[in-house]
Structure 1
Amino acid sequence: MSYQASLSKTVSPYLLWFLIHKSQTGIAVLDFQCKIAHGAEQDSWVSVLLVGMSMHLVVLLMFYVLKHAKKGDLISLHVQLFGKWLGTLLNGVFWLYLLLFVCNQLVTYSQVIQTLVSPDIPTWRVGLVFLLLFVYIADGGFRVITGLSFWFVLIPSLLIITLFIPLQYADWRNFLPVFNHALPDYAYSAERSVPLYMGAELLLLYYPFIRDNAKAIKWAHIGVMHSYLLYGIFTISAFAYYNLGQLKHSVWPTLGMSKIIHFTFLERFDYFYIFNWIFIITPPCCLVLWGSARILRFSTPLSGRVSLWVTAAIVFVVVTWSEDILAVGLLETISRYAGSILLYGYIPFLALCVLVSNWIRKPLVSNAG
């Protein structure tokens, strides 16, 4: 029997679709094409879709482990499986991972604004403005963040229509020849695609707040499918618009395609594209801050609101420190490796631990009877 929070704190199961999808859409959408192009080149779309489809298995494993958690989340599961001290330590490691996630989003977006909009604006100022916004929203609670995720999925989705404008200049011969790369090339592109799908692991924290959560798995799968179909569209659009030489040396290919879009009432459409990314990064960052504060609240004597501000303060310090391009690259690399280990290493390990724990407990119950 899955644990569920009180009814007044939960949201409808179908909203898990928007929570999963919005958690997986972030700043990585701006530049993933130029990174995966160094591996399988024109066949990179295969790696993007395969990694996306593998997330269905990750979701199944998360639902399996959460169904056996006493309080329905990773915080209680760690203590349940590994004891108080080791469990609290593992919760601390996951808290650090969440900080890394939101720092990577903020630092990269700050770099976009500084490069394309206002070179004179300091990183700390961008970080402070957005962190205050995120804290304000996260302080409203999980239901507020969920409502925001719903609308912030619908509003940016209108931008997909604008992709048809650069596709007027597409050269579909860029995808030829098809399937002519070795397995290591596909693996390289797949590894570079992982940041696109990071964020689904936040389910490990908000699962108890989904009404009838044990039956909500179909909505989680729909959310994952929504993500990789969207990334498939962005991948194909970029590889059709750019040739491989251009794509490998492009910094933010998604933004590059928006620069040729002009309207009589909006000359610099790429500015609209850039600032529209606020809708993209806000929900996952708010979820991360909310989840991080929840971990601190259950692992330390701090209250929920104090935990939220402490988390935000640490993020602000890291964002302020990460001003040069080397620090940004290092942060992105560490985040990518940490996300890969969590999604494809630690979550299967947790599922194995739960399986072994249940297998040991059943013979004990049987002998006691």
Structure 2
Amino acid sequence: MDFTFGREDEDFRAEARTWLQAHVGSPAAQAAPAWERTLGAGGWIGLGWDRAHGAYGNRTASLTQQVVWAEEYARARAPGRVGHIGENLLAPTLLAYGDDAQRTRFLPPIARGEELWCQGYSEPEAGSDLAALRTTAVRDGDTYRISGQKIWTSLAREADWCFALVRTDPDERRHRGLSFLLVPMDQPGRIEVRPIRQMSGTAEFNEVFFDGAVARAGHVVGGEGAGWRVAMGLLARERGVSTLVQQIGFAAELAELVAAAVRCGTVRDPVLRDQLVQQWAELQVMRWNALRTLGAVGDVGAPSVAKLLWGGWHQRLGELAVRVRGAVAAVGPADWSPEAPYELDALQRLFLFTRADTIYGGSDEIQRNIIAERVLGLPRVER
């Protein structure tokens, strides 16, 4: 397989690199919402959208140019994105399943970096088993009234909108009777967001409570009752060019870990050195696999294979981050005091956060079930 880029791709790379060098690090653009608007003004949001929908505000780019942008963005150490859920998940879903009114209303603000989104899928009793969700939406004239709870909702505190999978037909079971609904988050007294404090000390995830929250009937994507089809279509788009961005970040973490092993002298341990080399080799395989599957159409197993590969790899990297430094990895800085709790360093955060890698985004067990049932044709698991 040929993983090289053509002349047009390299010209695009030069343009992207020049723009990033001029804007990354600018104090006026470093705050997350401001950075999204800066990206939007530069035309860098929505590169992966269908070429036929350029009228919604995005510049068009080929698949390889999308890869180029993702690579340059990661290498420039540009700010973390808070608009990626709207850009990479909702927008392609609206292009595939939404109507013209929904595309006209929601795509331009995403392309301009003006409206942020979160995803309302998982619930306390419906995480990996998403079809067991219980949040309901009852039709009330031209609106729906939503009641229930979502959990592990990334960026819920920053989001202007939430796309939520809800049950609109209480007489149906499992995946039937569900709808994909677009819900405004600014509804005091009707929507409450509670951050979930993790063992790393951060709170990227949230609980979201809906108490009669209102959504317009015209904001059901794909029609009432088609939620499962739309939701699965969205999940199929969740892994893609963004996987390559993730892998560039992984490479930076691995390089930091190797540097730490050299500083500590543990690189002389042949077993540990072999584990570091193994991590490097597996990362190359993940990259080649991601490039190979980018243009695949109808490969239902590819997203699950990718998730299994990176989830386990990143978790093992976190474990290595502790082994490399030994006992030092378990203690804080010398100036620690109870009155001023210390901050975890980057490698400590890596270890703690990666404990969740094989669970969030679809647990390993669920990914293996998908491969077994949909690719290998094995009998379905009893639920």
TM-score (norm 1): 0.29
Structure ranking higher on relative contact order (CA contacts 8 Å, 6+ apart): 1
Which has the larger share of helix?
1
| Alignment TM-score, normalising by the size of structure 2 | 0.28
